[in-house]
Amino acid sequence: MLVVGENISVVSKVVGDAVKDRNAEPIIKMAKEQKDAGADYIDVNIGPATKKGEELMQWIVKSIQDKVNTPLALDTKNISAIEAGLEVHKGTAMINSVTGDKDKLDILMPLSRPLLSSIRRYVLLRRLLSSGGEDWETLLSPTIVLGSS
């Protein structure tokens, strides 16, 4: 089983204030608590982040990974922010909040190929198929899911 800590979200007052003030300490504290509780990944949700999303994602990724040795799940609908986060992420990242939108998938899938393990591909496959993203069924076939990463 893969455990993803889901507490770091800009909708939280603590995280929202920390982001606004660029004070990483509360975010790092939350990340450490989630790691200590057994999280395999720590979800970083920056919301839609239409303004300065790239800079925000990179700041959060660097801030957490400088202090906590746990991979992150990058969570936003802002594709540019995901790309920016992947550029600075150490190790294997997870891309969260993927929909079946073909235009977004055309951008995300090439980014995710070298990053996603078979387990995360399975999760993505289930989300895609449930949202009508059947164009990606061949890429994310069960034979890939059962293979080693």
Q: Examine the domain organization and report whether 91 and 117 are in the same domain.
A: no
CA 61 to chain centre: 10
Q: Examine the domain organization and report whether 126 and 53 are in the same domain.
A: no
Q: For the chain, what is the domain count?
A: 2
Q: Examine the domain organization and report whether 23 and 69 are in the same domain.
A: yes
Residue carrying structure tokens 């700041």: 59
pTM above 0.85, yes or no: no
49-66 pLDDT, tens per residue? 778 999 999 999 999 999
Q: Examine the domain organization and report whether 91 and 58 are in the same domain.
A: yes
- Pairing mode, strands 72-75 and 94-96: parallel
User: What residues are paired with 52 via a beta bridge?
Assistant: none
Q: Examine the domain organization and report whether 67 and 115 are in the same domain.
A: no
Contact 108, 81 (CB under 8 A): no
Range of the domain at 11: 1-97
Q: Examine the domain organization and report whether 93 and 145 are in the same domain.
A: no
Q: 74: domain CATH number?
A: 3.20.20.20
Average pLDDT over residues 110-132: 56
Structure tokens, 127: 């989300």
